[in-house]
Amino acid sequence: MFGNFVTGFNSQVDMKKEFKLEMCEIALFNRSAWNLYLNFELLQNGAKAFEQKHSSRAQECLMMANEIMNECYPRYDKEYPGMIARAEKKT
């Protein structure tokens, strides 16, 4: 795969090289959490873009992003399962 070339980039691949896998992380993909993360990133980038134009929309973007963060802060462990759904309703 990556970095297995004999003489340089895009040359012949060295099939004799062996590597030892030392660590591997496995996680479940949560589509709702990912969509919420993307919404947060869009709001953050929008705030930066509107701030350069001295628009009041920058403040609106920041306030919406702040509401998402406030909803995603679990106060207790029992609130964790519903926090993403509550935050999605804000967006």
- Does residue 18 sit within a domain? no
- Does residue 71 sit within a domain? yes
- Does residue 23 sit within a domain? no
- Alpha helices by DSSP H, the chain: 31-52, 57-71, 80-90
Domain of residue 52: give its range: 31-90
Report pLDDT for 83.
Answer: 73
C-alpha 81/C-alpha 83 separation (Å) is: 6
The number of folded domains in the chain is 1
C-alpha 91/C-alpha 37 separation (Å) is: 11
- Does residue 51 sit within a domain? yes
- Does residue 12 sit within a domain? no
Residue-wise pLDDT for 8-44, tens only, equals 666 677 777 777 888 988 988 888 888 888 988 999 9
- Does residue 21 sit within a domain? no
